Amino acid sequence: MATVTVSLPDPMKDWIEVQANNGKFSGVSDYIRDLVRRDQNRKDQREALIQALIEGEESGESRQWTREELRAEARRRVGLKHKG
């Protein structure tokens, strides 16, 4: 495992130490790794959302659905989920 040295202002260092010692983490390194993982996940989710929006935009014109059509489609999808 690689080591990274980071310089921080004292208040930020104190904050990290308090967070790292709250019982959820085994120490500062564990806390920092968790922050990095969360940042990676957030960026992955953001990229997936952007790709979904692009695909939706490129899929063509949408059509107007009636309220009854939306309800029927919702019932159909719920039924599919419950069938297995």
Render each residue's pLDDT in the chain as its tens digit; 84 residues: 999 999 999 999 999 999 999 999 999 999 999 999 999 999 999 999 999 999 999 998 888 999 999 999 999 988 877 765
Distance, in Å, from the CA atom of 42 to the CA atom of 54, rounded to the nearest integer, reads 18
Q: DSSP 3-state helix, strand, coil percentages of the chain (rounded to 5)?
A: 70, 0, 30
pTM of the predicted model, to two decimals? 0.66
DSSP labels, 54-76: HHHHHT-------HHHHHHHHHH
Q: Which of 51, 23, 19 is nearest to 35 (CA)?
A: 19
